[in-house]
Each structure stands twice: as C-alpha cells, then as structure tokens.
Structure 1
C-alpha cells in the first residue's frame, strides 16, 4: 500500500454517502462507486409534479441520523407535522379517537419489554388480545412488517417509545423529498474530495480487486451483498407493498394508521404543499406483505384503507404509482434476537458492511447511519495502519 491508498465505498445510498463523508472528514482519500446513474439507492423521490419518496419516509428527531445531518447542516428544510387530522382504522371503522384497546400503550413509555417473547404473546398476557392486536397494528408504521405481533416485544416497544410515545412529535418531512437530501449529501461529499463514480457496478471479481488495493465499505442491499460475497450475509426476503396517489384536494386525513392490518398512510403534502401541484395532494401508503401474498392482493388491502378514510378517492386520481419492494425496509428482530445478531459490520480482511440491515442499533435509516459511521472509523484506522506499515 502507498500513502494515497483510497477507501472505496461500494453503494451510493444514504449509508454509502454517510460512510464516504465520515472517511473523507477524517482525512482519507475516498472513492464511491454507485451502480446506478444516480445517487440515493432507496432514498429517492419522483421528479414531480407529485413528489413521492419510495415509501413514506421521514427523518426522526432524537436519532443518530438526525443528529449527524444537523451537525453538518444537511437536513435542509425538515418540517414538523402539525396537522391534527389523524385517524385510525380499527375493526373496519375509521375513528378520530384511539379505541379503548389502545389505551394501555401509554403504560409502555417506561416499560422494558422482553427480548425472547413475541409482542403478541407478551401484550396478550399483560392487557388482553385486543390490546395486543391494536399495538401490533400501530407498529406497522415503525417496522414495515406484515405482522408486527410476531416480532420480539423488546424490538417493537423500543421503537414505540422512541417514535410514537415521545412527548413531542419526532417525525420531520424533508422539503423536496429524500432526493433533495441525497443531493445535499452528494454535494457535501464532493466538496470533501470524495470521487463519486456513477454507472459503476461492481461484480464479485471486481470486489476482490478493490479489497486487495485497500479498505472497502460495502453499503448495498442484502441481495447485492449476497451476490458479491457469495455467502448468506443476511436478509429475510420481506416485502412491502407501496401505493402512491396524487389526488385532487379534498378533506383527506393527514395520517391514517390502520390498526387492523398494520398499514400506514400519510399525506405529506399537508405538511409541505410543494410536494404536489396547486389544488392537489400526494398520499403514500405502505403495508408489509405476507410471504405468499400477491401484489394485487396487497394493493387491494391498501386501497381498502383509502376507501374507508377517503370515500370517493378513485374519482379524484390524477397520478398513481404502485410497487412491491423486497428487503428494502431495514432489519427486524424476531423473539430471542437483537441487533447484535444481525450480520456483523466487520467482515475481516479489510471489508466492512454498512446499511439498515446490519448489526448496529437504531430505528430504520438510523441503523444505516450508525453502521456507516462505525465502518468508516474502522476503515480509516485500517488505512492509517497500512500507510504507516508501508514506510
């Protein structure tokens, strides 16, 4: 190795960009390779006039990702939602007030839930089956799982405490969508000297060559990591159905939380009007898909939530997009497992993983940030040791 040995980051999503910035800020030369013709990975938005993210993304105050962005003034205009027009769907009905079954959730604010018991079993024993079902449905927006009740009670309750049970609203919507956030990250990385190469895919042989030349941070989705490394490094095959619609404006709810089927709907243009044309709104829905569920069946469930919350919406549609994403919503922990049981960041021989599915703490994209910071620090240290050894 020479004194100019670069750290190579493979993957230009949020985790890859954060890793590149961290390493460059530490004084290391950094090269970032992105297979697509744009940066961002899953942190992408439609170009307009209806601006929709790939899923109902939000930043959350009080998380490592939020703090990391704020320290660099990269969060941009991130607005706290203040609309009171939130409704819940419970037992097939739209309600403006939480059902009685959800009342015990407030007692979870300072409760330590067990790791080795699933949420449904634990809450059924504590508060009964109705409360267990309602809280599991509430957790759909935090886990993107088709059945949050099957997950570790500790995993779900920690996220409820950090996001939903805070005294102040944690969510922040990014003006211009997450593509605008990615644009700021990319510009900051270039200012620090990061060499960003787009349309620069890497195969397994290419990854081996990169590892031989210097430290490598692999910041890709689980499927890509499996293909590049040739082994099972994680990923659980979970799928999420997405439905985005641009609607002529009416009195649609700002948020719909479907407690029946863990579906989440949000109207971000209620917070940031620039996300939709004048006189229109953009509504985004998401719901975890069962292992054998078809996209058509999943979309029908999402549409049923719109039917209940916004009757007549079909006659107001001006734009529509639907999709299913696989292994694209971060890791979940089953009973008996914690984030420490996910794929390790340090893979040995000068390779580190970064992403929202690896062994790092946090909530959704925060996991990607935490793992990227950890991976970058280790890569910088390894590079420094190699440079010293080369003299």
Structure 2
C-alpha cells in the first residue's frame, strides 16, 4: 500500500514536496488556506503581473536543475545587454554606473567566517567604506536592513551570488505564478489531491506523516510550539506602473543604505499592458523604522532612476512584509541552528526559515526534499492528537 502524506501549505515549498512525494509513489493531499496556490510566489491578477516583492531564480541553486528537468520553469525572460548598461548604484550620495571595484573584488571571496559580523570582517580585508557598500548591496538577497550585522559567511554567500557575472538571476515569463501553476498541474497529473480554501486550525489526526509548509508563525500555531521562532527581515514593497521615458534605469541599488528598484518589464514586457512599464521597489526596514520612512527612501531612488515618475504614474500598490523574507543568520550561527525540519511525532517542517542550506527560495526547496525523504523512509505509525 502506498504511503500517505498530508501537506499543509501550497506555496513553493509545499508544491515541491507534493511533486517529490508523488513521484516517489506516495498518496498526497495538500491543503492551502487561500483560494490560489503560491504563497509568497503568487503573482497579482489583472493587467499588472506583479510578484509579491521582487522575485528571481538563482540559476546555480539546487532547485534550478530539478525544475528544469521537469519542464517547470517554462520560458525565461532574458535581460537585454542594453538594460545591464542602465544599472545604477547610489554611492556617497551620487548615482553611478558601476559599483566600486573593491566591492566586486570583495564579492568574489569565499573565506568569510561564520563567527564574525560581515562588516567587521570585510572592513579588515577591504576597508570600512567598501564593506558598508557591499553589505548594503547584499540586502538584495537578504532583505535585512543591515546585512553588515549578520554572520560574515551568511552575507558573503548572498553577496557573491547576487554580484556574480554573468548574472545568476533568471525570470520566468509571466511571473512566478506561471511556475506555481506548472508545479500544481504536475502535482495533479501525479495524483496529488489539492484542496484550496482549506484552512486548518490544528494538525489533522492521522497515522501518516504531515509536512507543515507554512510560515513559522502559522506553524507555531499548528504545532502549538511557542519556541518555534526565527529571525527574518521586514521590508517595504512598492509596485508601480509608469509610462516609459527614454533614459529610465533598469535597476537602482542603494549602496549608502539598503534597498533597490527594478524595472521588470525590461525583460518581460507582458507583465504590464503595452506601452507601460512595471517597476518594483523593495526597501528593508529597521525595527523602529516607519512605513513612511521606507516610502520616502523608495521615492528618492525612483526619482534618481525614473525622473518625473510621479507624473507618469498609472498604478501603485504598497505593503509591508514582516517575517516573510527568509531566515537570517547572526554571527556564530548557520542554517543548522534554525528550527529543525524533523519536529518529531511524524511532523516535518518546510519553509525558508528552517534548517536547510541555500539562498532565499532554495531553503524552501531543500527543506521540502529533506522532509519528504524523512517522511517516506521513517514510516511513522503513531496517532497525532494535536
């Protein structure tokens, strides 16, 4: 008899687990609280196809080959060479065409220690000015207001991946929802039972393994485990549709603080109606920083990269994302110190804040495969009563 598996959460991690488990022959039921699958990988409906925050795949990540082998990435949008020439960096209060050369050299290093802050280590191997700029640039892959305070090894890995040439970033045509839709279709082909609008207030009583692929906050409630916590970033999201103007930037990175703006219709024009451009900004917020402060910083970057943007505005959406930006590791800690995948009693945790390696969505992916492997090999037989 096939092993039965219950998955709670229909985001990227939950769907990865569903496909993986079904391919291994398990009978899978997936519960998603919302009417649409995707979690943070959802893309907005309507004329403006905006992801919930800037999203991209890193092509050297472990999930890339897995998705490609199954045809789940779909067509990819390519960044034109001319667009890369329209990348800008705010440094020392000046907009520049290139980052500091010393930053590029620092990004290539692979010897950052776990036990020190990135800023402290990088200030010694380069200089404090370069170290600060590099830390702020790394926010594009940490979503933290001050990556210089984090473990040097943690921040350095993300800096290296974000600054690599040629760029690692890849963009699915139509936004991340297109990938989610293909993953869901593949899961259904394999016999996965997907129930949307199915919000569970407690773990279902079953003798079979349960994978909890939700936010840590939701997992804490479902597992009735107050100790299930982890640090994550807090960030302002700003999505805009603008009338185009010659000379608009492709990407603007704030090296004096943290934050960036990217024009996603550069590589995927179909994300907005013809003759319009979709721009997304992300500004990591300090714990006490207000939404208004983040908006002011975002609008400053917009004015630098998209002069007169407010007179060309066609659509606008703003939100603040809290504890939804993936785990961050403080000095002296690594991914192994995050909440364990195996929670005992046949329950397994999946997500981007758990004990699995990788960058951003790679953590969800890796934890999903580990959770499935553990669930299908240990064959728990007890009854859950939570």
Q: Please say whether Structure 1 and Structure 2 have the same fold, judged by a TM-score greater than 0.5.
A: yes
Does the 8 Å contact 1:46/1:52 carry over to 2? yes
Aligned length: 377
CA–CA distance in 1 between the matches of 2:130 and 2:143? 19
Contact 2:114 2:151 (C-alpha < 8 Å) held by counterparts: yes
State the TM-score, normalized to the length of structure 1. 0.93
Match in the other structure for 2:378: 382
Residues 81 and 171 in structure 1, CA contact (< 8 A), matched pair in contact too = no
Q: Find the residue that maps to 2:185 and give its secondary structure.
A: helix
Residues 290 and 110 (structure 1 numbering): CA distance in 2 closer, same or farther, change over 3 Å?
closer
Structure 1 residue 12 and structure 2 residue 10: aligned? yes
Q: How does 1:1-391 map to 2 (within 5 A)?
A: 3=1, 5-82=3-80, 83-84=83-84, 85-99=86-100, 102-165=101-164, 167-204=165-202, 207=203, 209-210=204-205, 212-231=206-225, 232-236=227-231, 238-250=233-245, 251-383=247-379
Q: Give the drift of 1:110.
A: 3.7
Distance 2:376 2:321 in 1: 33
Instruction: Tell me the distance in 1 between the aligned counterparts of 2:239 and 2:103.
Output: 32
Task: State the 1:159 CA deviation.
Answer: 1.7
Deviation of 1:336 after TM superposition, in Å, equals 0.5
SS at match of 2:261: strand
What's the CA shift string for 1:168-208, capped at 9, x where partnerless? 2211111111111111111100000000001111112xx0x
Q: Tell me the distance in 2 between the aligned counterparts of 1:125 and 1:117.
A: 11
Partners in 1 of 2:98 and 2:33 — Cα distance? Answer: 47
- Deviation at residue 237 of structure 1 after TM alignment: 5.5
Q: Contact 2:142–2:233 at 8 Å: present in 1 too?
A: no
Distance 2:372 2:178 in 1: 24
Distance 2:126 2:300 in 1: 29
Shift of 1:162: 2.8
Q: 1:214 Cα deviation (Å)?
A: 0.8
Q: Report if the CA contact (8 A) 1:343-1:359 is conserved.
A: yes
Q: Higher mean Cα deviation, 239-248 or 3-12?
A: 3-12
Cα deviation for residue 4 of structure 1 reads 5.1
Distance in 2 between the 1:237 and 1:386 partners? 35
8 Å CA contact 2:232–2:324 kept in 1: the answer is: no
- Tell me the alpha carbon deviations over residues 122-160 of structure 1, each in whole angstroms, 9 at most, x when there is no partner: 111222211111101110101010111111110111122
Q: Is the 8 A contact 1:9 1:31 kept in 2?
A: yes
CA distance 1:181–1:193, change in 2 (3 Å): same
Any stretches of 5+ residues in structure 2 without a counterpart?
Answer: none
Q: Secondary structure of the equivalent of 1:139?
A: helix
For 2:112 and 2:375, the matched residues in 1 are separated by 35
Measure the CA separation in 1 of the matches of 2:103 and 2:280.
28
Moved over 6 A (4+): none
Question: What is the CA–CA distance in structure 2 between the aligned matches of 1:366 and 1:80, rounded to whole Å?
Answer: 21
Partner Cα distance (1:86, 1:105) in 2: 15
Between the aligned partners of 1:107 and 1:323, the Cα distance in structure 2 is 33
- CA 1:263–1:150: 2 relative to 1, 3 Å: same
Provide the secondary structure at the position in 2 that maps to 1:190. Answer: helix
CA contact (8 A) 2:134 2:159 kept: no
Structure 1's unaligned 5+ residue stretches are: none
CA distance in structure 2 between the aligned counterparts of 1:41 and 1:335, rounded to whole angstroms:
30
The CA distance in 2 between the partners of 1:111 and 1:346, in whole Å, is 30
CA distance in 2, matches of 1:378, 1:322: 40
Q: Distance in 1 between matches of 2:321 and 2:283?
A: 11
